[in-house]
Chain A
Amino acid sequence: MPFSDSMLLWASPGLESEPFIMELLETHLKKGLKAVLCVTDKPSQAFIEQAENYGYKLSKHLGKSLFLINFYEKLINNEGLESLKRLVKKKIKVLGNDSLVCFNNISTLINLFGFKAVSELIFLKKFVNEQGGRFICSFTEWPYTSDLLIKLRKSFDNRVYLNTVNEQKYYSFKKNGSFTHLLFDVNKPGGVTSLKPRLVVIGPKGSGKTSFIKALSDCSASIDYLSNDFGIDHAEFKYKDRVIDLFGAPGDDYEPVIELLGSSVSGVLVMIDSSRPETFSKARRIVESVRERGFNVVVGLNRVKTGVNDVKKKVGLNSVPLIVSEKGSNHDEIFSKLLSY
Chain B
Amino acid sequence: MSESIRIGIKGLESVFTKSFPVGNCLLLISPPMSELSIFGLEYIYDGLRRGEPGVYITLDDSPESLRLKALKFGWPLMNAEARGLMKWLDVYSIHANRDVKNTESILRIGGPLALTDLSIAISQIQSGFRRKSNSYRFFFDSLSTLLLYNSPNTVYRFLQVITSKLKMSNGVGFFTLGKGMHDEKINMTIRHLMDGTVSLNEDLELSVISLPVASDTRFGRLNLTRKGFVFS
Contacts and interface: CB of A to CB of B under 8 A. Distances in A.
A143 B120 CA distance: 16
Interface stretch (A11-19, A245-253, A274-282): A11-19
A43 interface: yes
B119 A13 contact: yes
Contact of A72 (B101, B108, B113, B120): B113
Q: How large is the interface on B (under 10, 10 to 19, 20 to 34, 35 or more residues)?
A: 20 to 34
B122 interface: yes
Q: Among the interface residues A53, A76, A108, which one has the most CB atoms of the partner chain B within 10 A? A: A108
A335 to B, nearest CB: 28
A251 B116 CA distance: 44
A140 B151 CA distance: 16
A142 B102 CA distance: 26
A47 B111 CA distance: 12
A140 B154 CA distance: 12
Contact of B161 (A13, A40, A53, A72): A13
Interface in A38-62: 40-43, 46-47, 49, 53
Interface string B113-141: 11111011011000100000000000000
A105 B110 CA distance: 12
B113 A142 contact: no
A81 to B, nearest CB: 15
A185 to B, nearest CB: 12
A40 B113 contact: yes
Contacts of B151: 111-112
Contacts of A14: 119-120, 122-123, 161, 165
A144 B160 CA distance: 11
Contacts of B95: 43
B157 interface: yes
Given A14-B122, A14-B165, A42-B94, A142 B157 contact: yes
Contacts, number: 82
Nearest to B116: A140
B158 interface: yes
B111 A111 contact: no
A105 B161 contact: no
Contacts of B109: 42
Contact of B113 (A15, A16, A42, A167): A42
A98 B102 CA distance: 35
A46 B153 CA distance: 26
A107 interface: yes
A107 B116 contact: yes
Nearest to B114: A41
Given A14-B165, A142-B161, A143-B160, A46 B110 contact: yes
A143 B157 contact: yes
A69 interface: no
A108 B157 CA distance: 12
B23 to A, nearest CB: 17
B69 to A, nearest CB: 26
Given A13-B119, A14-B123, A143-B157, A41 B110 contact: yes
Interface in A86-136: 105, 107-108, 111-112
Contact of A13 (B102, B110, B116, B154): B116
Interface string B61-104: 00000000000000000000000000000000011010001100
Nearest to B153: A111
B113 A108 contact: yes
Nearest to B150: A111
A42 B110 contact: yes
A107 B115 contact: yes
Contacts of A47: 110
A33 interface: no
A304 interface: no
Contacts of A76: 111, 113, 149
A75 interface: yes
A271 B53 CA distance: 40
B102 A53 contact: yes
A42 B114 contact: yes
A196 B129 CA distance: 26
Contact of A46 (B94, B119, B122, B123): B94
Contact of B116 (A41, A112, A143): A41
Contacts of A16: 120
Interface of B: 94-95, 97, 101-102, 108-111, 113-117, 119-120, 122-123, 127, 149-151, 153-154, 157-158, 160-162, 165
Given A15-B123, A53-B102, 10 more contacts: A13-B162, A41-B111, A41-B114, A41-B117, A49-B101, A107-B115, A111-B153, A111-B154, A112-B151, A143-B157
Interface of A: 11, 13-18, 40-43, 46-47, 49, 53, 72, 75-76, 105, 107-108, 111-112, 140, 142-144, 167
24 contacts: A13-B116, A13-B119, A13-B165, A14-B122, A15-B120, A41-B111, A41-B116, A42-B110, A42-B111, A43-B94, A47-B110, A53-B102, A72-B110, A72-B113, A75-B113, A108-B116, A111-B113, A111-B115, A111-B150, A112-B150, A140-B115, A140-B116, A142-B158, A167-B127
In the A-B complex, list the 7 residue pairs whose CB atoms are closest, starting with the nearest: A42-B110, A14-B123, A111-B154, A41-B114, A142-B157, A140-B116, A13-B119
